[in-house]
């Protein structure tokens, strides 16, 4: 079987999802998880975009071992210089240059003739090769590019030194059959195509990114560019976990595999969901909570007799366990640590002490504690650790709230900052959550507004924990917050303070 390279762009294209930005420590954590997953190439960022992106690429390049580290660059000298500088300490550096090739981009965005389009691509590849032997060229919007022009571009950049040529479906326009034929045309018409790896980077605007990527592999592509959980611009990118398991499960069709450690798929998915604040839908293929869940009596009967009646994959192969371990108030710390490890979390002693304390409090409030309750406790601790690295910030103490129909809510809110406690009594707002928010704004003395607020249950049942995600706005800048509690108002308060602490940390 052929081995298909997996090029992960979660840290670059995935981070471009609205609300999915990551700080440096989060990017390093994700990058190391991707390396453990077995990703061949990690696109760490777009070095020229900002000082923060440059620093992220540089630190990932210094830290990651076992995977190539890549930076994106336009076909512009200053972009390539920044990428080369950021990748200077990488074990396996790759510079990834791109230039649009379709008529609509050439005419309206670039103002280039077809001839100049080819010249610019060649010049960029030749310049990048001065710094790095591994150079990838992407023909942006290639699925809407005339096939004759695309063949000329591909041949020219390979002659110039490109080791990988990417044929992206930038706007998610191609059908699987069209993508298959495009790759076949390149293999048959470009005389030097055997000197480079053909790659694809397909977007999901029509919901076909995984299908078009698999079609490209069947046609002869040797690399797929994708993201964890399918994150990315607009509707997102090809989902890494889906394309990897598609190749593994249907190897009889594709005669190809990857070097991905598939048992790490679920833990990596959970990590990315935690640091970005973009939760995985319950019905998401491969890594969704319902991916291996069966409620129908007919399905349950079939599963009991033979799991293959309704499951085409083994849950453990992607990192799931078959059943939840129900923990209660009589469970010990060792059991909690063992379950956390099973769920994909390695807790240090301090984290375990804190999470065990919160676990005991939760056990007194809930009859049963499920895997997702444990995940929520751990992820809340991860947020708190990242947002208060030096234990500086606002934390929740208590609230006293009175609210009646037709009357303004009245709240007494107590918060802690450092070693001091502060209280605020206020009336106003449209309901209890709004009243809490007004009190937080007055206590913290920050002019902020709520841009987005969502709440969902972590598990089923009347005593389920509420998980709150919030976006706050200060002077046009957006900050994300996260909170979990069986008390939805408490969870909302924690989420708001989490966002405020992010804002304070950046300031």
| Alpha helices (H) in 132-201, listed in sequence order | 147-160, 176-189
pLDDT of res. 296: 53
User: Which pLDDT belongs to residue 323?
Assistant: 41
Q: What proportions of the chain, in percent to the nearest 5, are helix, strand and coil? A: 45, 20, 35
Cβ pair 6, 258 in contact under 8 A: yes
Q: CA 3 → CA 150, 229, 252, 318, 460, distances in Å?
A: 26, 22, 14, 19, 41
* Separation of alpha carbons 427 and 408, rounded Å: 6
Across the chain, mean pLDDT equals 89
Tens of pLDDT, residue by residue over 17-48, are 877 888 999 999 999 999 999 999 999 999 99
Closest CA to 268 of 495, 479, 11: 11
**CA separation for the pair 218, 234 (Å, rounded):** 26
* Crossing angle of the two packed helices 432-444 and 488-506, in degrees rounded to 10: 30
What tens digit of pLDDT does each residue of 105-119 get? 999 999 999 999 999
Identify the residue with better confidence: 372 or 162: 162
Q: Per DSSP, which regions of 22-84 are E strands? A: 41-45, 68-74
Give me the percent of the chain exceeding a pLDDT of 70: 92
pLDDT surpasses 90 at 503: no
What does the pLDDT look like over 236-285, one tens digit per residue? Answer: 999 999 999 999 999 999 999 999 999 999 999 999 998 998 989 989 99
Report pLDDT for 330. Answer: 64
State whether residue 164 is helix, strand or coil: strand
The pLDDT, as a whole number, for residue 350 is 86
* 424 SS3 class: strand
pLDDT category of residue 128 using cuts at 50, 70 and 90: very high
pLDDT at 327: 60
First to last CA, the chain: 52
* Rounded distance between C-alpha atoms, residue 122 and residue 120, angstroms: 5
Spatial distance between the Cα atoms of 439 and 412, rounded to a whole number of angstroms: 8
The predicted pLDDT at position 447 comes to 86
- pLDDT at position 385, please? 59
Q: What are phi and psi of 212, to 5 degrees?
A: -70, -35
CB of 242 within 8 A of CB of 213?
no
Q: What is the C-alpha separation between 363 and 373, in angstroms, rounded?
A: 10
To which H or E segment does residue 416 belong? strand 410-417
pLDDT digits (tens, 9 = 90+) for 174-229: 999 999 999 999 999 999 999 999 999 999 999 999 999 999 999 999 999 999 99
- Burial of 364 by CB count in 10 Å (0-12 exposed, 13-18 middle, 19+ buried)? exposed
pLDDT at residue number 392: 58
Does pLDDT of 313 surpass 90? Answer: no
Residues, the chain:
507
Q: 388 is written with which tokens?
A: 């208060």
Q: Identify the pLDDT of residue 334.
A: 72
Q: What is the mean pLDDT of residues 403-425?
A: 89
Q: Is 129 exposed, middle or buried (0-12, 13-18, 19+ CB in 10 A)?
A: middle
Residue 377: both structure tokens together:
């406790």
pLDDT in tens, 374-384: 888 887 777 66
Distance of alpha carbon 117 from alpha carbon 99, whole angstroms: 8
Mean per-residue pLDDT, 8-14 = 95
In this structure, of 218-227, 247-256, 306-315, 438-447, the range with the lowest mean pLDDT score is 306-315
Judged against a pLDDT cut of 80, whether residue 16 lies above it is answered with yes
How confident is the model over 446-456, as a mean pLDDT? Answer: 89
DSSP 279: P
């Amino acid at each position: 079987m052929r081995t298909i390279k997996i090029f992960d762009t979660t840290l670059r294209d995935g981070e471009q999802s609205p609300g999915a930005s990551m700080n440096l420590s989060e990017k390093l954590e994700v990058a190391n998880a991707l390396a453990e997953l077995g990703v061949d190439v990690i696109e760490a960022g777009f070095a020229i975009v900002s000082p923060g992106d440059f620093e992220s690429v540089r630190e990932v390049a210094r830290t990651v071992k076992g995977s190539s580290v890549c930076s994106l660059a336009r076909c512009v000298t200053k972009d390539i210089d920044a990428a080369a500088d950021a990748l200077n300490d990488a074990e396996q550096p790759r510079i990834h240059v791109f230039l649009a090739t379709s008529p609509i981009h050439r005419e309206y965005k670039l103002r280039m003739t077809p001839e100049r389009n080819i010249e610019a691509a060649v010049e960029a590849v030749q310049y990048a090769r001065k710094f790095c032997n591994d150079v990838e060229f992407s023909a942006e919007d290639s699925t809407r590019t005339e096939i004759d022009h695309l063949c000329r571009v591909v041949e020219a950049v390979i002659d110039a030194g490109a080791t990988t040529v990417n044929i992206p479906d930038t706007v998610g326009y191609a059908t699987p059959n069209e993508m298959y034929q495009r790759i076949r045309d390149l293999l048959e018409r470009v005389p030097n195509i055997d000197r480079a790896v053909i790659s694809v980077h397909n977007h999901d605007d029509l919901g076909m990114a995984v299908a078009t990527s698999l079609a490209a592999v069947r046609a002869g592509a040797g690399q797929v560019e994708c993201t964890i959980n399918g994150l990315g611009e607009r509707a997102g990118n090809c989902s890494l976990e889906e394309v990897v398991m598609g190749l593994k499960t249907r190897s009889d069709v594709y005669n190809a595999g990857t070097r991905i450690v598939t048992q790490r798929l679920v833990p990596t998915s959970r990590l990315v969901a935690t640091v970005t604040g973009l939760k995985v839908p319950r019905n998401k293929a491969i890594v969704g909570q319902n991916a291996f869940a069966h409620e129908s009596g007919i399905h349950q009967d079939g599963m009991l007799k033979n799991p293959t009646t309704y499951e085409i994959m083994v849950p453990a192969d992607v990192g799931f366990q078959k059943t939840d371990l129900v923990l209660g108030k009589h469970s010990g710390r060792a059991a909690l640590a063992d379950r956390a490890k099973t769920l994909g979390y390695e807790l240090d002693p301090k984290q375990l002490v804190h999470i065990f304390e919160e676990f005991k409090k939760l056990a007194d409030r809930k009859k049963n504690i499920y895997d997702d309750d444990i995940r929520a406790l751990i992820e809340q601790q991860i947020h708190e650790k990242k947002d208060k690295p030096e234990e500086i910030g606002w934390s929740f103490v208590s609230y006293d709230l009175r609210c009646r129909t037709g009357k303004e809510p009245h709240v007494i809110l107590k918060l802690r900052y450092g070693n001091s406690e502060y209280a605020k009594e206020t009336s106003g707002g449209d309901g209890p959550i709004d009243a809490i928010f007004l009190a937080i704004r007055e206590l913290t003395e920050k002019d902020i507004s709520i841009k987005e607020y969502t709440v969902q249950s972590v598990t089923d049942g009347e005593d389920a924990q509420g998980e709150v995600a919030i976006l706050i706005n200060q002077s046009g800048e957006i900050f994300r917050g996260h909170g979990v509690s069986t008390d939805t108002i408490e969870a909302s308060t924690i989420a708001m303070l989490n966002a405020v602490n992010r804002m304070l940390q950046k300031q």
